[in-house]
Amino acid sequence: MAVAVDGSEPSRRAVEWAADEAARRGVPLRVVHASLWERYEGEDDDFARARLAARRLASDFAAHASSRRPEVTVGTEVIGDETVPALLAAGSEAALLVMGSRGHGGFEGLLVGSVTLRVTSRADFPVVVVRGEEPPPPRGRVVLGVGTHEFPGPAAEFAAQQARARSAVLQVVHAWQPDVDFSGISVVLDPGRAQQRAQALLASVTAGLADTAPDTEVGADAVPGPAAPALLHAADAADLLVLGSRRRHGHLGAVTHALLHHARCPVAVVPLPR
């Protein structure tokens, strides 16, 4: 797996999360930094200093990961390209890419940086965006958000793996809203059928999880109301929020976008088949 660094405080937290995750998985960790200076091979002192600074930055973060998790094999890679294509290339060679919520280029108060959003919206591999100022104590819960029209598939498998690795409860959350009947003189809200569909969807998802994660405790919540607030509330008590994403024209959906900006725990975005 790989973790992106740029020298910022959010990338330090991403490295710590990634080191812990690599230890759970028993896999090596690659610390990745993008620097256009790597393209230049001249002996010019400015070029040499810039290349050395980029390599030292990656090495310093790798050392931080190793000090946190000595059992993890940690390597570094400095890619001579623009940040977004460099991280997309690095992630395509890894099972998972971990990123901070924003980097040095973000304005103060910006919740999620443009690089993070651009990578997450284009990646065809799972991306974890590490949010929060400091990691909270383990809560023993992984939340899987399930949409109305998209069966979670790979996202459910990812969430089950995360819950199993953490010996955590896997909570499946689906938000639903009443059907609206415009056929009469007045508008009528019909919650009954919508709630039944929500419960049937959750039953289907949890039945699949019982096969893929038989030793994991799985719960299900059908929550009335809009999806984003329901998932934000669930994420408040979670170690990780997992979302499936079927991108349209290279853009994340509104719910995924809102959760990347506001969730208080790390958010995993797992691409779904198109």
Of the segments 92-96, 182-186, 192-196, which one has the largest average pLDDT value? 92-96
> Same structural domain for residues 15 and 81?
yes
Q: Which residues, in sequence order, are CB contacts of 41 under 8 Å at separation 6+?
A: none
Q: Per-residue confidence at 12, pLDDT binned at 50, 70, 90? A: very high
Is 191 a member of any domain?
A: yes
What are the pLDDT digits (tens) for 100-159? 986 544 434 344 578 999 999 999 999 999 986 666 788 999 999 998 766 778 999 999
Q: Considering the entire predicted model, what is its pTM?
A: 0.89
> Same structural domain for residues 121 and 164?
no
Cα 183–chain centre separation: 42
Higher-confidence position of 184 and 21: 21
Residue 240 pairs in a beta bridge with 142
What are the pLDDT digits (tens) for 220-249? 999 999 999 999 999 999 999 999 987 666
Domain termination residue (choose one: 98, 130, 162) = 130
Domain termination residue (choose one: 130, 153, 184) = 130
Please say if the pLDDT value at position 187 is more than 60. no
Residue 242 is encoded by which pair of tokens? 């997992």
Q: Is 166 left (phi over 0), alpha (psi -120 to 50) or beta?
A: alpha
Please say if the pLDDT value at position 183 is more than 80. no
> Same structural domain for residues 119 and 147?
no
> Same structural domain for residues 158 and 109?
no
> Same structural domain for residues 44 and 158?
no
> Same structural domain for residues 164 and 250?
yes
Give the range of the structural domain holding residue 215, as residue numbers without chain letter: 141-271
CATH of the domain at 68: 3.40.50.620
